[in-house]
Amino acid sequence: MLSTYFIVKIILVLVLFLVTLTMAAYSTYAERKVAAFLQDRLGPNRAGPFGLLQPVADGVKMFMKEEIIPNTSDKAIFILGPSIFMITALLTGVVIPWGPDINVNGTNYPLQIADINIGLLYLFGVVSLGVYGIMLGGWASNNKYSLLGSVRASSQMISYELAMGLSVIGILLYTGSLSIKDIVIQQQGMHWNVFYQPLGFIIFLVCAFAECNRAPFDLAECETELVGGFHTEYSSMKLGLFLFAEYIHMFISSAVIACVFFGGYDFPFIGKLGLSPNIFALVGVVVLFAKIIFFIFFFMWVRWTIPRFRYDQLMKLGWQILIPLGLFNIFVTGGWLTLKNYLNW
């Protein structure tokens, strides 16, 4: 039984790995196409039909480019930076329940690699480790622009992680669990958290943008000020890893938003269709991915619409607006739950 368990997990890990990378690769394609759509352009359309092979071409290009490591850089850390960023990005997917359990020969196989009871906490922990990649990479480049970029990135991540953490506490208060699977299961039947925690959702969404270093929070790499920000000195696949990891972050953030606030694989009336459990599971996966893709589109939509903040405005938004709002949200949720308990509703 143990061997089956391991085989299933290994298969899941491999599939997740592949899916994450594919999603990230095609996010780059989608980004260009969405940008082109929003900007009255055509976007990539040379490589393959509709430019569908563009991510492959980009990958090949990245590998073929000359590897440049500046003489003045700290070489070991210079290489470590993008590696940490990529690894932490890939680690995040394990706690996300990708769909309902699949039943084979009477045994339930969950479509989740690790249902740990501190799933959400794990996610925050791993994501915040990612900032080390940016910080070390930017610092080891020994370039002033990189340093400025990485300082911006680290202060931004630290301040927005606080608000992000505060925004989900409201949910934790009434789900009583940090496991993402529990949170998803409690939302079944359209009891989506977004209806109960709209403020928490908005704070979380804003912070997710900041965590992904996406516009309007892309200060760490804003090309018009800091040339390339923390990855100014990087070339070849190391640059690719940075860029790629960012898209993975976006994918995972969308998945977390879908799971924590939008019921994960839940869909209205899906329970009433009378599907067999396995079909139900597959439909669930499709539903979850539809939600994820919607949020990825939303990320892109925002990026190509609004300008970015200035550094001090970003800090002000984080510390003076989002964190007080997050605290307020906790206060209101806590007060409501206490009242409910007291009156025995």
Partner 1 sequence: MEQELTKKTNILEGSSPVSLDQLPQQDYNILNLGPTHPATHGIFQNVLKMDGEKIIDAEPTIGYIHRAFEKIAENRPFYQVTTLTDRLNYCSSPINNMGWHMTVEKLLGVKTTKKVDYMRVIIMELARISDHLICNSVLGVDTGALTGFTYVFQLREKIYDIYEEVCGARLTTNIGRIGGMERDFTPKFWQKLKEFLDEFPKIFNEFDSLLTRNRIFFDRTKNVGGISAERALNYGFTGPNLRATGVDYDVRAMNPYSSYQDFEFEVPVGETGDCYDRFLVRNEEIRQSIKIIEQAMKNMPEGRHFVDVPEFYLPPKQDVYTKMEALIWHFKIVMGEVDVPVGEVYHSVEGGNGELGYYLVSDGGRQAYRLHFRRPCFIFYQAYPELIKGSMLSDAILTMSSLNVIAGELDA
Alpha-helix runs per DSSP H in 187-322: 193-196, 198-211, 223-226, 236-261, 277-303, 311-316
- The whole-angstrom separation of Cα 298 and Cα 74 is 38
Site for partner 1 contains 94 (CB under 8 A): no
Among 17, 223, 321, 327, binds partner 1 (CB under 8 A): 223
Among 312, 341, 343, 345, binds partner 1 (CB under 8 A): 312
- For residue 293, the one-letter residue type is I
> Candidates 77-85, 113-121, 244-252, 310-318 — which segment interacts with partner 1 by CB under 8 A?
310-318
CB closer to partner 1, 233 vs 266: 233
Give whole-number Cα distances, 228 to 89, 141, 143, in Å.
20, 12, 11
Among 310, 331, 338, 339, binds partner 1 (CB under 8 A): 310
Site for partner 1 contains 233 (CB under 8 A): no
- The whole-angstrom separation of Cα 329 and Cα 256 is 19
> Candidates 66-74, 123-131, 173-181, 221-229 — which segment interacts with partner 1 by CB under 8 A?
221-229
CB closer to partner 1, 29 vs 280: 29
Residues 41-60 that bind partner 1 (CB under 8 A): 41
> Candidates 107-115, 176-184, 216-224, 277-285 — which segment interacts with partner 1 by CB under 8 A?
216-224
CB closer to partner 1, 221 vs 266: 221
Are 72 and 232 spatial neighbours (Cβ–Cβ below 8 Å)? no
Q: Please state the φ and ψ torsions of residue 43, each to the nearest 5 degrees.
A: 80, -175
Per-residue burial over 9-38, b = 16 or more CB atoms within 10 Å of its CB, e = otherwise:
eeebeeebeeebbebbbbbbbbbbbbebee
Tell me the helices (H) and strands (E) count for the chain, helix number first.
Answer: 13, 2
Site for partner 1 contains 308 (CB under 8 A): yes
Residues 125-184 that bind partner 1 (CB under 8 A): 144-145, 148
CA 124 vs. chain centroid, Å, equals 11
Binding residues for partner 1, rule CB under 8 A, total 26
- For residue 61, the one-letter residue type is K
Residues within the interface to partner 1 (CB under 8 A): 35, 38-41, 144-145, 148, 215-216, 218, 222-225, 227, 304-313
